[in-house]
Chains A and B, each alone.
Chain A
């Protein structure tokens, strides 16, 4: 335990933020949350999806003075690294560390390569539902999702479909589409959203999917066409509000990913409530709603502690099923 505390303190020190309250973790439970600065732990360097969300949350916290302690981002390890997970798990009992919790959090445990267990964490809340969009270059022959699906049925496995790293949520979004429509595409894996965006703009793949924020600038300029958004209803974001849902086109596919936060295990119910209230207050901030959620084509979808825990459990089952059928999990 001592080693982990040293780690935590040195992390705080490296950010030269403020004198860390060394007894924060062990402070009397009578004091309400937060008893020390709150750190948002995200994987990868600044600029990634979770990082941008954390920075927007912190901006909202500062604007509305939601908590009376400072909050900061801690960028831990590379983008695909498990370091943020193991680091947060090691802060057992300390509610002042919040781990960015996305689909990756679950998928790592499925491949048997996780250096952590899901029960080392306390799910706090998910703020956002981030849908998948299917996009093609402006001069592509495909005008609708139905065009694309018919083409795929005519020549199974020949259409190049770009997405993120194999086995991640981008890939599972395609797997869901294939399953629902009985089609087979040739999945081409790309690293980050920027790489994929460049590849589809340059027509190196026929079609791509990702979150709306990955393609916004090109959709806005009409260089990419949105064939479908995989959510129950159309988006309200001005750039993609004309993009039809898959369901409207007769294909019952919904793929939205949660973007949430988890604390280490072993924290008190009062602290869970404190964290939950903090994040709920963030979602009521009008600037956060307009400038972050809406602009990025996401949807406000607040899941509290209980609902988020249920969602994680349900998604674990769903992901296992998808990846097993695709032959990625044995």
Chain B
């Protein structure tokens, strides 16, 4: 194994390969910072430029764009409350509150470090475990995917803080909104009222940016003194995470990476579901669960680790089985085929130089991305010192451009504006927004998996409990629900009393 990795580094260490790797991660990072322009669009735009390159070099560069873009995704989420892709919704939820408290620097730093650790850990996983893990992932069929989403739902729960009733009301609204558009099961579309922009349902990016960024802009207009950043806070001391910050994130960094990597491999999960699961899990194991929802550094570390590891994890089924789990891995797969390399079970034996060269390049690429991103933090934070009117117009412009660029659709921009107004009203009336987005994202997937499972089982609901993986996931979900309803504490208290009674001599 190490021999082969050495071989990979030998492939990598030519001037040409290193140069194009660096170009790839740099471009990817820039694309990732811009919301809406994700890794899929970046890879696609630059694909034609790689035609003149040798295939290994081209694939190293395109992969660099792919994971480079994942690093950039958190920047606008943390600084401006603009989640550029669904998987950074929770980053915006926690990270922006940190920025408001003047802790944007540490949030960006911990996010870069989490991304680095997760990215590197995921490459190790890709190297040692890719084939068995990819085979394991195949055991996740519709029933397992359904139970997985149920588990994600219960883990995240009411998303911390605020009134549970208001949270539930918003989740219910999200549930309703998720029914709009096409389903894979029924021919045609539903509840679109003839608007073709809604054929595919509400764009998650448009809804998330509408609910998060736009109300912030409206409030800033309403109350200009409410400045996001205290002037003069950009001292180096304020930019780097303290030792305490690292101690707080010590469980989040590995947990996020592991959850993300597994989620990336599973065909039905992906970066977004992983980021929710990592968030929910971290809140369960955290020593400071009360910080979740009010700006928790630990949460940012878990979520960013998860979505980064998931993007590398998604390469596992793509490379070893030829299965693209997302739009981006699909274009990457297409790019490899265009370069004459068919990903699949035969890849590692047929093209060891490509596979091991790619693995080696990802180790180096992750180090380079960390070195690139840490010094940029000071620059990003200093941008917040621009006058308020410049910031809010920029936020509006970036938001609209990002939403448009995702699908080149003007309809989505209207969706963003609509949800912006809704988000503002919700903010004024003190309704939480994350449950709405969570329900919107998870429900449409859940419905599809549910219908598909029942279709396979010919309408027999026992499919969810007779399959071991599905049953395990549902039991975890049930356990999490019990804990959440306070049952856990009661059980723990009862247990302690029983223990004390047993110990007391009487």
Q: Give chain A's interface residues, CB within 8 Å of chain B.
A: 7, 11, 14, 44-48, 51-52, 55-56, 58-59, 62, 73-83, 85-86, 107, 111, 113, 115, 158, 160, 164-167, 186-192, 194-195, 197-199, 201-202, 204-205, 216-218, 220-221, 223, 291, 295, 323, 328
Contact = CB atoms under 8 A, between A and B. Distances in A.
Given A77-B199, A217-B343, A201 B138 contact: yes
Contacts of A14: 404-405, 408
Interface in B182-207: 182, 184-189, 194, 196-197, 199-200, 203
A79 B189 CA distance: 13
Given A81-B199, A198-B267, A111 B188 contact: yes
B421 interface: no
Interface stretch (B71-79, B328-336, B491-499): B328-336
B184 A190 contact: yes
Contacts of B409: 76-77, 81, 83
Contact of B187 (A115, A167, A218): A167
B48 interface: yes
A14 B43 CA distance: 16
Given A189-B184, A189-B452, A47 B344 contact: no
B323 A198 contact: yes
A310 to B, nearest CB: 26
B41 A46 contact: yes
23 contacts: A7-B410, A11-B408, A46-B47, A46-B330, A46-B331, A47-B328, A75-B44, A77-B196, A81-B196, A83-B411, A113-B189, A186-B458, A187-B455, A188-B452, A190-B184, A194-B323, A201-B323, A202-B138, A217-B323, A217-B342, A217-B346, A220-B342, A220-B346
Contact of A218 (B325, B328, B344): B344
Interface string B156-190: 00000000000000000000000000101111110
B141 to A, nearest CB: 3
B321 A217 contact: yes
Given A195-B267, A291-B338, A190 B452 contact: yes
A74 B408 contact: yes
7 tightest A-B contacts by CB? A217-B322, A217-B344, A47-B330, A167-B187, A78-B200, A46-B44, A204-B141
A197 B184 CA distance: 16
A160 B143 CA distance: 14
Contact of B407 (A51, A75, A115): A75
B357 interface: no
A216 B142 CA distance: 23
A221 to B, nearest CB: 4
Contacts of A55: 44, 47-48, 334, 338
B194 A220 contact: no
B186 A186 contact: no
Residue from the set A45, A62, A82 with the largest chain B CB neighbour count within 10 Å: A45
B194 A115 contact: yes
Nearest to B197: A83
Given A47-B327, A186-B455, A80 B40 contact: no
B199 A78 contact: yes
B200 A81 contact: yes
B317 interface: yes
Interface in B389-436: 404-405, 407-411
Given A46-B44, A158-B458, 9 more contacts: A47-B330, A76-B408, A76-B409, A81-B407, A160-B455, A165-B187, A188-B456, A198-B323, A217-B344
Given A188-B452, A204-B141, A223 B345 contact: yes
Contacts of A216: 322, 342, 344
Interface of B: 40-41, 43-44, 47-48, 51, 137-142, 182, 184-189, 194, 196-197, 199-200, 203, 267, 317, 321-325, 327-334, 337-338, 340, 342-346, 404-405, 407-411, 448, 452, 455-456, 458
Residue from the set A46, A59, A80 with the largest chain B CB neighbour count within 10 Å: A46
B196 A86 contact: yes
Contacts of A164: 184
A178 B321 CA distance: 30
Contacts of B456: 160, 186, 188, 204-205
A240 to B, nearest CB: 13
A80 B199 contact: yes
Contacts of A201: 138, 321, 323
A67 B28 CA distance: 31
A46 B40 contact: yes
A202 B184 contact: no
B404 A58 contact: no
A167 B60 CA distance: 40
Contacts of B342: 216-217, 220
A324 to B, nearest CB: 12
Contacts of B345: 217-218, 220-221, 223
A45 B327 CA distance: 7
B407 A198 contact: no
B193 to A, nearest CB: 11
Given A198-B138, A221-B345, A166 B185 contact: yes
Contacts of B452: 188-190
A304 B458 CA distance: 45
Given A204-B456, A221-B345, A221-B346, A79 B138 contact: no
Nearest to B138: A202
A62 B47 CA distance: 14
Residue from the set A58, A191, A221 with the largest chain B CB neighbour count within 10 Å: A221
A83 B321 CA distance: 33
Contact of B51 (A11, A59, A195): A59
Contacts of A195: 267
A292 B188 CA distance: 31
Contacts of A52: 334
Contact of B455 (A51, A62, A86, A188): A188
A90 to B, nearest CB: 11
B84 to A, nearest CB: 15
Residue from the set A115, A158, A198, A221 with the largest chain B CB neighbour count within 10 Å: A198
A77 B322 CA distance: 26
Residue from the set A80, A218, A220, A291 with the largest chain B CB neighbour count within 10 Å: A80
